[in-house]
Amino acid sequence: MPVEITVLPFQLAAPMLEYSIYYRGKLTADGRGTITSEGKSREQFAAEMRDMVAHGVVNPTIYQRYDER
């Protein structure tokens, strides 16, 4: 028996807590990405940062040092 549901538009309230994650990704020395949680190309790193922001994570703890390239 098929069921049809109509979901009306709604907005969630802003969270009362700040959610974050430990992000282990670091840029690789040779610039090539990997499929691990750590070695990232610039493209992978940037895409993962954009994805986190899109999902509400705006303050991740990252292991990439500022002076590292």
pLDDT digits (tens, 9 = 90+) for 3-62: 999 999 999 998 888 878 999 999 999 999 999 999 999 999 999 999 999 988 888 999
Are 52 and 21 within 8 A, CB to CB?
A: yes
d(C-alpha 28, C-alpha 10), whole Å? 42
Helix (H, G, I), strand (E, B) or coil at 27: strand
Every domain of the chain and the residues it spans: 22-62
Task: Say how far apart CA 15 and CA 3 lie, in whole Å.
Answer: 32
Is the pTM higher than 0.75? The answer reads: no
Q: How many CB atoms lie within 10 A of CB 65?
A: 8
What is the identity of the amino acid at 52? M
Q: Which residue has the tokens 């190309």?
A: 41
